[in-house]
Chain A
């Protein structure tokens, strides 16, 4: 029997609200006791020296390149990046090649995650076959195989009737439908939010309202069908206002956002910096401030990295032709801690909150749970350096920034899967 005791740690468990110095005992990969004063014979003792011990992070929106684009990120390289960021559970997008529209592929990704020994992978199932926006995918069979929710990834369901049917069908499965909230005809060909800056740079633009337009339609459809609807990477004040009032009316809607939308603005595009190209594109300062406010007031339910790996050739292109998206696994914790929220609230958004949205057993420090743990120093500052990040993809939008909050050690099922440089 393997026993590990963490002592001299600040235990933070957002699910229970606990935040205080304590001890945590792990036996055979599970949390066996909290605050037990005993140190069992033969236990390995880890002195946290006052660092925070929290649940391993749950990242509800990660794109990996597997299958089909392993040169960008494989399950294995993605897992290395994840654990370096304290993440032990990832929900991965289905718009791969082939798309995750077949029960066998759901199974494959879960097994590939297990094979790394570092992370648990929970695949999204495709909403439509091939994530191509046509025929409905086999949502029920995908769910049977373990798909945690359904989405076409970065493609919105454009057709209102199709969205109605998908939401309606998802209801008998009690499945969560995740929409990329951007009206696609307005967004087609665009790479920047319509603004004076985009006009000056001469970039093809999408109005920020493209998000609210899609959200307004889908909220109406969710109300009509009674389905569970989730909007990914919400980034505008108008979109968030719609979600806030829909929640108040009792519509079953949730949403997440990603670090670029509360830590960056369109100004970061600067001189055509393709590492600052995202889908949806970066917004104005007022939208960024609205995202921060929505994080604080609970309108936004979770923060996801929206990790979108690209290789150098994907990004070394004129801005409009470059691939959208940035890596986010390694930086998720540091950027989220910098959002101006109380520490326990910030952690809730990346642990139990996304786990409960996806109804997966993770993100809490309860006795009996898998000992998926993240030990981090909330005061330590480190510099993000593209080219030196764990994992394959290096397209971080936070290159050169100093983040506060450094992951020291990550454990999955009690096994140490990441140790920061300089630690034994």
Chain B
């Protein structure tokens, strides 16, 4: 019997996954991308399955993407947006888990402001848990959709140089991307002001830290821009958005330092004129809209594979 790559029951993060575990998600997602374009997604794949989008943080984009993914595969999709003001979040979370068990949900998509919350839930629910972003920890489906977008453009996903720019320290997108891209044999450059880029991030693998944006972009194949939260100014980490743009904004001049045809990516929503110039975001090199499209395909693949993992084959 040929050995099948094991499908994890949950998708809580990218850290620890091997290339052999990551690639099947991308392969399946690629076929779903084509089927979605031809309006012929397999409606029967998740028929009778229940997907609950459990969002403790507002996120229209990610929630909609998961909702669409579930519906294209024929699942019953329920959205639950939970107020985050409760003081005893730990208690509430476990109470929620027992409620969900009683509802017999199959797939649970969780977005939470606290790192580790989906992992805690996964220990208490019978459903497969998909982490849709937890605190500053991981956002695995974002990394998968970024990877798929890159692979479609380069025809490969190894030996590339990817610069991840901006508020890396607070970014779950950056962390998941670092794990995924380095696991597949790419080199990752992280760039931002030292207040947003903890020195210990250098220990996450084949990663190099920069505080000079020009240097970090020189010769890069992919430039990922990250959203700068307004809170960073109030927290004394960055003085102003105009200074941030002066030193870390992705503009035409800087992009020209990257390799010709380098891809420009952003997980959205963008702050135009803060981390990225409008003309760069709207340029031919920008694949930001394609990232959103691949997001649905990747989430279809994730829901599909996790649901199959739970069924006896």
A165 touches B247 (CB 8 A): no
A36 vs chain B, min Cβ distance (A): 44
B240 touches A171 (CB 8 A): no
A135 touches B234 (CB 8 A): yes
B234 touches A169 (CB 8 A): no
A139 to B193, CA, bound (A): 12
A225 to B236, CA, bound (A): 15
A110 to B202, CA, bound (A): 41
Nearest CB to that of A101 among chain B residues?
B239
What 4 A-B pairs come out closest when comparing CB atoms? A172-B211, A136-B239, A138-B239, A168-B194
User: Is residue B82 contacting chain A, with contact meaning CB distance below 8 A?
Assistant: no
A136 touches B236 (CB 8 A): yes
User: Is residue A141 contacting chain B, with contact meaning CB distance below 8 A?
Assistant: yes
Nearest CB to that of A129 among chain B residues?
B239
B178-220 vs A, CB cutoff 8 Å, 1 = contact: the mask equals 0000000000000001110000000000000001100000000
Contact residues in A for B246 (Cβ distance below 8 Å): 140-141, 144
User: Is residue B80 contacting chain A, with contact meaning CB distance below 8 A?
Assistant: no
A162 touches B236 (CB 8 A): yes
| Cβ-defined partner of A172 (8 Å) among B193, B236, B237 | B193
Contacts A140-B243, A140-B246; A168 near B195 (Cβ below 8 A): yes
A161 to B235, CA, bound (A): 10
Show 21 A/B contacts (Cβ-Cβ < 8 Å), sorted by A.
A135-B233, A136-B236, A136-B239, A138-B239, A138-B242, A140-B246, A140-B247, A141-B239, A162-B236, A165-B195, A165-B235, A168-B194, A169-B193, A169-B194, A169-B237, A171-B194, A171-B211, A172-B194, A172-B211, A172-B212, A225-B194
Q: Kindly state the interface size class of chain A when it binds its partner.
A: 10 to 19
Nearest CB to that of B247 among chain A residues?
A140
User: Is residue B238 contacting chain A, with contact meaning CB distance below 8 A?
Assistant: yes
| Cβ-defined partner of A138 (8 Å) among B195, B235, B237, B240 | B240
Interface residue total, chain B, C-beta cutoff 8 A: 17
A165 touches B236 (CB 8 A): yes
Contact residues in A for B235 (Cβ distance below 8 Å): 165
Most buried by B among A162, A165, A172: A172
Interface residues of B in 238-272 (CB under 8 A from A): 238-240, 242-243, 246-247
A140 to B240, CA, bound (A): 10
User: Is residue A137 contacting chain B, with contact meaning CB distance below 8 A?
Assistant: yes
Contacts A135-B236, A136-B236, A140-B247; A169 near B242 (Cβ below 8 A): no
A141-B240, A144-B246 given; 7 more Cβ-contact pairs under 8 Å:
A135-B239, A169-B194, A169-B195, A169-B238, A171-B194, A172-B211, A225-B194
Most buried by B among A162, A169, A225: A169
A43 vs chain B, min Cβ distance (A): 48
B15 vs chain A, min Cβ distance (A): 26
Main secondary structure of the interface of A (DSSP, over half): helix
Number of A-B residue pairs with CB-CB distance less than 8 Å in the complex they form:
49
A161 to B236, CA, bound (A): 9
Nearest CB to that of A171 among chain B residues?
B194
A136 touches B238 (CB 8 A): yes
B232 vs chain A, min Cβ distance (A): 10
Nearest CB to that of A166 among chain B residues?
B236
A138 to B243, CA, bound (A): 6
B169 vs chain A, min Cβ distance (A): 11
B34-46 vs A, CB cutoff 8 Å, 1 = contact: the mask equals 0000000000000
Contacts A169-B195, A225-B194; A137 near B212 (Cβ below 8 A): no
B73 vs chain A, min Cβ distance (A): 46
Interface residues of A in 251-307 (CB under 8 A from B): none
A141 to B243, CA, bound (A): 6
Contact residues in B for A171 (Cβ distance below 8 Å): 194, 211
A136 to B243, CA, bound (A): 11
B237 touches A139 (CB 8 A): no
Interface residues of A in 132-149 (CB under 8 A from B): 135-141, 144
B170 vs chain A, min Cβ distance (A): 14
A162 to B235, CA, bound (A): 9
Nearest CB to that of B212 among chain A residues?
A172
Nearest CB to that of A159 among chain B residues?
B236
A168 to B238, CA, bound (A): 11
A69 to B240, CA, bound (A): 28
Contact residues in B for A138 (Cβ distance below 8 Å): 239-240, 242-243
Contact residues in A for B242 (Cβ distance below 8 Å): 138, 141
B191 vs chain A, min Cβ distance (A): 10
Interface residues of A in 164-198 (CB under 8 A from B): 165-166, 168-169, 171-172
B277 vs chain A, min Cβ distance (A): 17
Nearest CB to that of B199 among chain A residues?
A226
B275 vs chain A, min Cβ distance (A): 15
Most buried by A among B193, B235, B246: B193
A225 to B238, CA, bound (A): 16
B62-106 vs A, CB cutoff 8 Å, 1 = contact: the mask equals 000000000000000000000000000000000000000000000
Contact residues in B for A169 (Cβ distance below 8 Å): 193-195, 237-239
Contact residues in A for B236 (Cβ distance below 8 Å): 135-136, 161-162, 165-166
Nearest CB to that of A134 among chain B residues?
B236
Contact residues in B for A137 (Cβ distance below 8 Å): 239
B40 vs chain A, min Cβ distance (A): 51
Nearest CB to that of B211 among chain A residues?
A172
B44 vs chain A, min Cβ distance (A): 54
Interface residues of B in 107-161 (CB under 8 A from A): none
A111 to B212, CA, bound (A): 30
Contact residues in B for A144 (Cβ distance below 8 Å): 246
A52 vs chain B, min Cβ distance (A): 44
Contact residues in A for B195 (Cβ distance below 8 Å): 165, 168-169
A140 to B195, CA, bound (A): 14
Contact residues in A for B194 (Cβ distance below 8 Å): 168-169, 171-172, 225
Nearest CB to that of B234 among chain A residues?
A135
A334-371 vs B, CB cutoff 8 Å, 1 = contact: the mask equals 00000000000000000000000000000000000000
Nearest CB to that of A128 among chain B residues?
B236
B132 vs chain A, min Cβ distance (A): 31
Nearest CB to that of A136 among chain B residues?
B239
A172 to B233, CA, bound (A): 17
A141 to B233, CA, bound (A): 15
A259 to B239, CA, bound (A): 35
A137 to B212, CA, bound (A): 20
Contact residues in A for B238 (Cβ distance below 8 Å): 136, 169
A172 to B212, CA, bound (A): 7
Contact residues in A for B237 (Cβ distance below 8 Å): 136, 165, 169
B80 vs chain A, min Cβ distance (A): 36
Nearest CB to that of A169 among chain B residues?
B195
Nearest CB to that of B213 among chain A residues?
A172
Contact residues in A for B212 (Cβ distance below 8 Å): 172
Contact residues in B for A162 (Cβ distance below 8 Å): 236
